[in-house]
A = this chain, B = another copy of it.
């Protein structure tokens, strides 16, 4: 074939907005969600600030804020294009859902709050026991998630072949 099917900008946009909407529903802020969806649906897996602004019809300021948030969450990486002051933002498709599932920081903070609750309400009280059980659940989760991700990587390599990049 002389030409692979050209990307239909409208189809892409439809996916971007649809997927972003689901992320928003799950608690993510709108702009980070849109930026993230845009990156996910790009062929190279990375876009510049200008491209994002253009694609999503938003100001550079909005892109900047969204990217800062996503980078903090380890959902995108920033990389400097050598020989230019342009920056690219990239989803490492492996990495992002690892960030999503581990959420270490979140779980740790929950555990901390629960531990304080157990202490201040007393281990012997019904409420204290309930909190302790909840805490035990998150501690259990912590360990399980790590093992699960190991299994996922194995499964992934089997299905997608070890070699896929980005």
8 Å CB contacts to B: which residues of A108-148?
109-110, 113-114, 116-117, 120-122, 124-127, 129-131, 133-134, 136-137, 140-141, 144, 148
Interface size on A, residues (CB 8 A): 58
Complex formed: what's the CA distance from A101 to B26 in Å? Answer: 13
* Distance A97 CA – B137 CA, assembled complex (angstroms): 8
A14 at the interface (CB under 8 A from B): yes
Please determine whether A116 and B15 come into contact, CB atoms closer than 8 angstroms: yes
Q: Of B8, B14, B134, B159, which one neighbours A40 at CB under 8 angstroms? A: B134
Q: Are A144 and B148 in contact (CB under 8 A)?
A: yes
Bound-complex Cα distance A126 to B12 (A)? 13
Q: Does A53 contact B (CB under 8 A)?
A: no
**Quick check: is A61 within 8 A (CB to CB) of the other chain?**
no
Interchain nearest-CB distance for A125 vs B (Å): 6
A10-39 interface bits toward B, Cβ cutoff 8 Å, 1 = contact, 0 = none: 011011001100100111100000000000
A148 contacts across to B, CB distance below 8 A? 141, 144, 148
Which B residue's beta carbon lies closest to that of A136?
B159
Given contacts A43-B127, A164-B133, contact A120 B8 (CB under 8 A): yes
